[in-house]
Amino acid sequence: MPPSPDPPVSGAWRAGVDPVGDRRFARLPGPLHLERGGVVAQVGVAYETWGRLDAAAGNAVLVLHALTGDSHAAGPAGPGHPGPGWWDGLIGPGRALDTERLFVVAPNVLGGCQGTTGPASRAPDGRPFGSRWPEVTIGDQVDVEAALADALGIRRWSAVVGGSMGGMRALEWAVRHPGRVDRVVVLACGAVATAEQIGLYAVQLQAITDDPGWRGGDYHQLDGPPQLPGPQLGLGLARRMAQVSYRSEAELEARFAARVQPDGAFEVVSYLDHHADRLVRRFDAGSYVTLTRAMMTQDVGRGRGGYAAALRACPVPFTIAGVDSDRLYPIRLQQELADLTGVPLRRIHSHRGHDGFLLEVDQVAAILRDVLPSP
């Protein structure tokens, strides 16, 4: 079943066109030199904050989003934000990330599409980067986050917290900038991409890049009505594949089984169609490709003698948590991280698979309350 009528060519946020919402913006100084050899002449970062930075700049917590997340980690839906914050139950007065005593920062990642420079952004010549956007790594994303911290006057984070792709960046923060992090909390990821993850991601990317609307990545149009279709169908197909991997087999069976709707469609297929349509309307195919490739090349041990050596040598205190029904990033990967860093594994009990790190708010809150500094 195709998406609803008239999905946008790209769901990327557009400066001067779309509402700013709760976003703030930082323009980072100088060009960004990337690990794989590319250069981005100038990088802008969209971010959101909650709470107030104390006089010593010692109460800051960095919260890092997953693949299709953004800076809107907390707060209601509204102009500029099609949905409520993806960790809204964790951030706020009296919550696990207590904004009465903590200064919480959530940036949109490099290569994203919700205000931070990425494939849909204007290049220095005024045209969208499109196919000219370079390959970025998890390390490049962390370099941008470190530059944002400098711009905000934060020399050291009280904690860096993230799940899935955000967890990858939290790991990278620990080994890349150990002097700037008091603690990292890593949920639902591993130290290096596995063969199965790479294979699943490669098929999703092919769905996008084989879409005739992809046009080599040059489908964006920043001004005026769209003249040609974009890769909406390919992006929707990629999301359908991903959504199956985000949930557990047991949950899908319990919710849908082989039941058929009155229109003849399988209930589970309509569920996947719904998630595909939602993503196409709020995300950009180029960002999906860029960020997925970054996850495919993730390796916290690259250039550090391998991930085991890098993690064993890292002096930063770790908290590692996994979802017991996660089949995309199975809990054995978090057990390995816990073993290498010498900490107990925290288990999130859930029937909802990988998405449990987003949905089991009470359990994640208990982990955060246990490990973050008390007032």
pLDDT at 5: 56
pLDDT in tens, 65-95: 999 999 999 999 999 999 999 999 999 999 9
DSSP codes, 206-274: HHHHTSGGGGGG-----SSS-SS--SHHHHHHHHHHHHHHHS-HHHHHHHTTT-B-TTS-BHHHHHHHH
Contact 345, 320 (CB under 8 A): yes
Instruction: Indicate which residue of 65, 81, 220, 354 is catalytic.
Output: 354
Measure CA 350 to chain center: 21
Beta strand 103-107 pairing with 44-50: antiparallel
User: What whole-number distance in Å separates Cα of residue 206 and Cα of residue 213?
Assistant: 13
Residue 354 annotated in active site: yes
Average pLDDT taken over every residue of the chain = 95
Contact 56, 181 (CB under 8 A): no
Give strand pairing partners of 347. 322
What is the fold, at CATH topology level, of the domain defined by 24-371? Rossmann fold (3.40.50)
Q: Given a cut of 90, is residue 4 above it in pLDDT? A: no
Contact 231, 211 (CB under 8 A): yes
Instruction: Indicate which residue of 22, 140, 299, 326 is catalytic.
Output: 326
Q: Given a cut of 80, is residue 225 above it in pLDDT? A: no
pLDDT at 373: 72
pLDDT in tens, 246-304: 999 999 999 999 999 999 999 999 999 999 999 999 999 999 999 999 999 999 999 99
Res. 3 pLDDT band, cuts 50 70 90: very low
pLDDT in tens, 179-191: 999 999 999 999 9
Please work out, in degrees rounded to the nearest 5, the angle formed at the alpha carbon of residue 88 by the alpha carbons of 82 and 93: 135
What are the helix (H) ranges across the chain? 138-151, 165-176, 195-209, 232-246, 249-255, 267-282, 285-296, 307-313, 331-341, 356-359, 361-371
pLDDT at 244: 98
pLDDT at 221: 78
Q: Given a cut of 70, is residue 224 above it in pLDDT? A: no
Q: Provide the CB-side half-sphere exposure for 23 (13 A, CA).
A: 24
Name the percent of the chain lying above pLDDT 70: 97
pLDDT in tens, 183-214: 999 999 999 999 999 999 999 999 999 999 99
**Distances from the Cα of 214 to the Cα of 178, 234, 285, angstroms:** 40, 8, 8
Residue 326 annotated in active site: yes
User: What whole-number distance in Å separates Cα of residue 34 and Cα of residue 25?
Assistant: 21
pLDDT at 1: 41
Instruction: Indicate which residue of 10, 71, 121, 164 is catalytic.
Output: 164
pLDDT at 288: 98
Contact 286, 211 (CB under 8 A): no
Q: Given a cut of 60, is residue 2 above it in pLDDT? A: no
Q: Which two tokens stand for residue 13?
A: 């946020």
pLDDT at 228: 76
pTM of the model: 0.96
Contacts of 352 (CB under 8 A, 6+ apart): 247, 248, 251, 323, 325, 359, 360
Mean pLDDT of 146-168: 98
Mean pLDDT of 319-327: 98
Q: Given a cut of 60, is residue 235 above it in pLDDT? A: yes
Q: Given a cut of 60, is residue 170 above it in pLDDT? A: yes
Q: Given a cut of 80, is residue 222 above it in pLDDT? A: no
Range of lowest pLDDT (117-121, 219-223, 265-269, 317-321): 219-223
